[in-house]
Chain A
Amino acid sequence: MSPALIVALPFLGALLPGLMVRAGRTAAAIACGSATALALLGLLLHVPAIRAGEAIATRIPWMPQIGMNADFRIDGLGLLFGILILGIGLLIILYARFYLSRKDAAGPFFTYLMLFQGAMTGIVLSDNILMMLVFWELTSLSSFLLIGFWKHLPEGRQGARMALTVTGMGGLAMIAGCLILGQVAGSYRLSEIVQQRAAIQGSAWYLPALVLILIGAFTKSAQFPFHFWLPRAMAAPTPVSAYLHSATMVKAGLFLMARLWPALAGTPEWFGIVATVGLVTMLVGAVIALFQDDLKGLLAYSTVSHLGLITMLLGFGTEEAAVAAVFHIIAHATFKAALFMSAGIIDHEAHTRSIARLGGLRTLMPLTFGIVLIASLSMAGIPPFSGFISKELMLENASHATLGGMPRLVGGVATLASLFSVAYSLRMIAHVFLGPVRDDYPAKPHDPGIGLWLGPALLAALVVVIGIAPNLTVGWLVETAAAAITGAHPHPHFALWHGVTPALLMSAAAVVGGAVLLALWRPADGLRLALPRPDAKAIFDSMTDTTQAWAARLTNGVTDGSMSRALALFMLTATACGFAAWHTGRAGPEIRPLLPVSPVAFIGWLMLMVATGTMVAVHRRRILALVLVGIIGLIVSCAFVYLSAPDLALTQITVEVVTVILLLLALNFLPKRTVLDTGNVKRGADAFVASLTGLGVGILAYAIMRRDFAFPSIAGYMLDNSYKLGGGDNVVNVILVDFRGYDTYGEITVLGIAALTIFALTETLLAGRSGTRLRNWVHDMRRAGDRHPLMLVVATRVVLPISLVVGLYIFLRGHNAPGGGFIAGLIVSVALVMQYMASGFAWAQERQNIPYHALIGLGVLCAGITGAGAWFAGKPFLTSAFGYFHLVGVEPFELATAMGFDTGVFLCVVGAVMLALNSLSRIARQAGQKVNVHPMDIQFGGER
């Protein structure tokens, strides 16, 4: 089975519970279980090839040009984790079916679980580091959903948030680290990165990348000082704790360290950080675990401790230690998942997880007792169980390690941690199952049905079998996984008895010491309570509170509700960024000669400057300012003509007309003067910001104009191919309707949406309070006596057919000469608007009833259909075709599909402009503007 399919299967399975859950929890569980089992089967089919030393790889190309592909690869390490994830996943699905009650939402639960399973499988089978990061974040998210599954529990919500914050932050650090790593190694393929050991470790970026990646791994794997989220995540339903927080997700960090081991390990930095953190975590976790009252809390801290153990082994950086780490990953996953499920059984049957309220369950729950006994003894490292072998290997490796110049330090601390580990493991047995039977359990405990005990029982059986025959059962798996980590070919041989070695003596000391410690548990607990303990949750909360307070301060400082302030800060920031970019970047030499200044150009410039300056000076007299805006727009269009852009000039001048009309219409209902309500200081500051920004933009424009293109311009391509491919001489128009037709398509859609927004706004206004206000509107300016002057009416009537013909002409010639859909649309709009202005909107509307919404829709549709037409010719969207046609009596003319597209543009522009003006005029009518019956309604006698 393809590795990609193995990863996809759980995701597909995630869809099934939604369909199946109406048929009950069993159906949903069977659906998920089938998908998982299928994926597991597909994975196991690769075992012979992987044992032979091969790696199974698939590539799904995505953007091969920049090396972005979905690469999947199964090697020994991926196989090991894949088996753990899918195998334990299968048992968890079975267990969850019976653990969840009727009231729980089983559908979402199984979906989240499968989502998590898919993400986890994705992590371990990805060969592309970026894709792995995506899966990595996906595990954080799905684990958030699973921890907070019981939404009514505050601990669940807080625990989920904390887990997401800690692992999410770690994930961000890791992304940064992995990007550095990819840059240094020159590839984002994991299988290529791990071969770049020399390049990576020799790089100056090695330490930053290492630290960032380790932060990600440590947060995920709950290493000190990030360990505190894991116990809080225990508010999750027990199947989740057993799956995510003991067997799989928390091992993702270990997986990553193992995966990158060949590239990163073996340096003093690696040893110093990883081994130390692992050692400290191992001890701290074990000490805290001993004093937990909550069964799951005990197991959670013991998980922290065991993860520390594996981290430490990976940190040693030797092959033997890597083998031991792999072995312990297997051993820990089996016994810890069994223990978690057993804790869930006790919770399920006795209705409490508090150790203080338990005890004496041995006779009441004999089956559960058997499972816990085996798994706990394995956790304590008692022979003949699997935990003994891995603990021996660990102590053996620890006794050889030297940290900080003290040869016995690591071994000593490791023995101490083992001592605590023995104590809490035995406490699990002694304080829960042994002792007298009590009569005050919250519910009467008894062994559960087979659905709940089958999973843990199978795992307990595995613990025994692996312990007795390690080489036969998991030897090959450890061997291939360790080979994949180290790149060497270790041939480990595991045995329960090695003779009397230092490791055995340390182990014996730990067992005896642990038993003694447990006997002294009560005084020890009293001593612990007397000592001051830092509360991780309080520290975490105060940190998030502080961050939140600072974030709020910053946000409120930048945006306090004053747009002026926010915009000023934005302008300053943008200018500062531009300044910084200018100083750090490299610009070419100023080689373009200055163009000579003609007198006309100088006069135009002078007029523009004067008009702009005057406008700012008089902007509070709004109508005057509007006139000046018109003048500025006119000069800008002249500038376009002068600088070889006829299309732009035509567009600018027509847009100018409609904009000014629009603003005038709006001004009808706005105050005609702006009140002066800012002080001199504020105006001075604003002027400073404005000058600085203007100066920056001006200098930048000048700098650009004096230099040549930094990259080869694509203008040449457009000019060369405009006629050949687009069939038009007007290159600007061909770019609009052909080369970059998709852009234009989006833009006319945006324009249509803007017009519809205006329409909707008007509707809302007229329906609401403003509608009433408008009905009682008193105009603040005297109305003209002659609303529809004779001269204007006659002139516009004469001009209408002419402008329509001009519009048509401009439209038709657009492909080969200045013009096109945009400009023609604007010209026709102006012609129509003139009628409205001359004779009143309602009068004109009656005579040319065009539904403007429909026009917009038709335009977008027309352009879309033209574009889609290319599909029928087997070309991509918006590929144009053209040809020349001969009609008798007419000279040969050209027809291009681009014309259909341009028609769409035309219709959309007309519809949008007219709809906007129509909306404003509706406001005017609401305000009591009389609708005239005749085209000219000259009123005599000074009536208003």
Chain B
Amino acid sequence: MEILVATAIGFMTAAGVYLTLRKRTFAVVLGMTLLSYATNLFLFVTGRLVIDQPPILQKGVESYTDPLPQALVLTAIVISFGMTAVVVMMALGAFLEGGDDHVDLPATDRREPRPRPAQDEGAR
């Protein structure tokens, strides 16, 4: 079971990273969504894999899974929704304003480092 979960996390991470490295906004958004799945799952399994022992207290049940990673991941899921929403909105705004959905700065906006004048500012 652990092997399956680990490979799933690894594969989703790889897919997420690959898509995040694309040059168009929507692919990046998809990549980040996948990365959040992988990350949430990863954080969750730091509580180790436990089957059929949900952290709901019941009479006569002695062993439960670790509730803390679950609580942390729960908020993480909601926050990643908020993040995805903001990123999508930014992507949409960039497309509407700029007319294309490139992630990178256009070549004209990439400035070379300004050559420093030979004299110091006092002489300027």
Most buried by B among A561, A655, A697, A751: A697
> Which residue of A595, A605, A822 is within 8 Å of B51 (Cβ)?
A595
Cβ distance B30 to chain A, nearest Cβ, rounded Å: 6
Verify B5–A736 contact, CB threshold 8 A.
Answer: no
Most buried by B among A643, A674, A722: A643
| A352 CB contacts on chain B under 8 angstroms | none
| B1 CB contacts on chain A under 8 angstroms | 594-597, 601
What size tier do the contact residues of chain A reach?
A: 35 or more
Interface residues as binary, B68-100 with A (CB distance below 8 Å gives 1, 0 otherwise): 101111110111111111101111110111000
Nearest chain B residue, comparing its CB with the CB of A825 = B78
Verify B21–A744 contact, CB threshold 8 A.
Answer: no
| B65 CB contacts on chain A under 8 angstroms | 643-645
Interface residues as binary, A677-719 with B (CB distance below 8 Å gives 1, 0 otherwise): 1100000001101110111011111101110010001110011
Verify A632–B97 contact, CB threshold 8 A.
Answer: no
Assuming the contacts A678-B23, A704-B46, asked whether A155 and B79 have C-beta atoms less than 8 A apart, the reply is no
What size tier do the contact residues of chain B reach?
A: 35 or more
Verify A669–B96 contact, CB threshold 8 A.
Answer: yes
Determine if A666 is an interface residue (Cβ-Cβ < 8 Å): yes
Chief secondary structure at chain A's binding surface: helix
Cβ distance A462 to chain B, nearest Cβ, rounded Å: 39
| B7 CB contacts on chain A under 8 angstroms | 605, 609, 698
Interface residues as binary, A651-679 with B (CB distance below 8 Å gives 1, 0 otherwise): 11001001100110011011100110110
Verify B92–A643 contact, CB threshold 8 A.
Answer: no
B-facing residues in A751-797 (Cβ within 8 Å):
751, 754-755, 757-758, 761-762, 764-765, 768-770, 773-774
Verify A719–B33 contact, CB threshold 8 A.
Answer: no
> Which residue of B29, B70, B90, B96 is within 8 Å of A647 (Cβ)?
B70
| B97 CB contacts on chain A under 8 angstroms | 765, 768-770
B-facing residues in A902-944 (Cβ within 8 Å):
909, 912-913, 916, 919-920, 923
Verify A699–B6 contact, CB threshold 8 A.
Answer: yes
| A916 CB contacts on chain B under 8 angstroms | 82, 85, 89
> Which residue of B44, B58, B110 is within 8 Å of A648 (Cβ)?
B44
Complex CA gap A613/B12 in Å reads 9
Determine if A633 is an interface residue (Cβ-Cβ < 8 Å): yes
| A608 CB contacts on chain B under 8 angstroms | 8, 11-12
> Which residue of A602, A754, A769 is within 8 Å of B85 (Cβ)?
A754
Stretch from A40-48, A363-371, A615-623 that touches the partner: A615-623
Complex CA gap A662/B29 in Å reads 12
Residues of A within 8 A of B (CB): 154-155, 157-158, 541, 545, 548-549, 552-553, 556, 560-564, 567-568, 571, 592, 594-597, 601-602, 605, 608-609, 612-613, 615-616, 619-620, 622, 625-626, 629, 632-633, 636, 639-640, 642-648, 651-652, 655, 658-659, 662-663, 666-667, 669-671, 674-675, 677-678, 686-687, 689-691, 693-695, 697-702, 704-706, 709, 713-715, 718-719, 722-723, 729-732, 735-736, 740, 743-744, 747, 750-751, 754-755, 757-758, 761-762, 764-765, 768-770, 773-774, 816-818, 822, 826, 909, 912-913, 916, 919-920, 923
**Ordered nearest first, which 10 A-B pairs have the shortest CB separation?**
A698-B10, A694-B14, A561-B105, A154-B122, A754-B82, A770-B96, A702-B6, A595-B1, A690-B18, A735-B71
A and B contact pairs by CB, cutoff 8 A, 6 listed: A158-B120, A613-B11, A651-B74, A655-B78, A770-B93, A916-B89
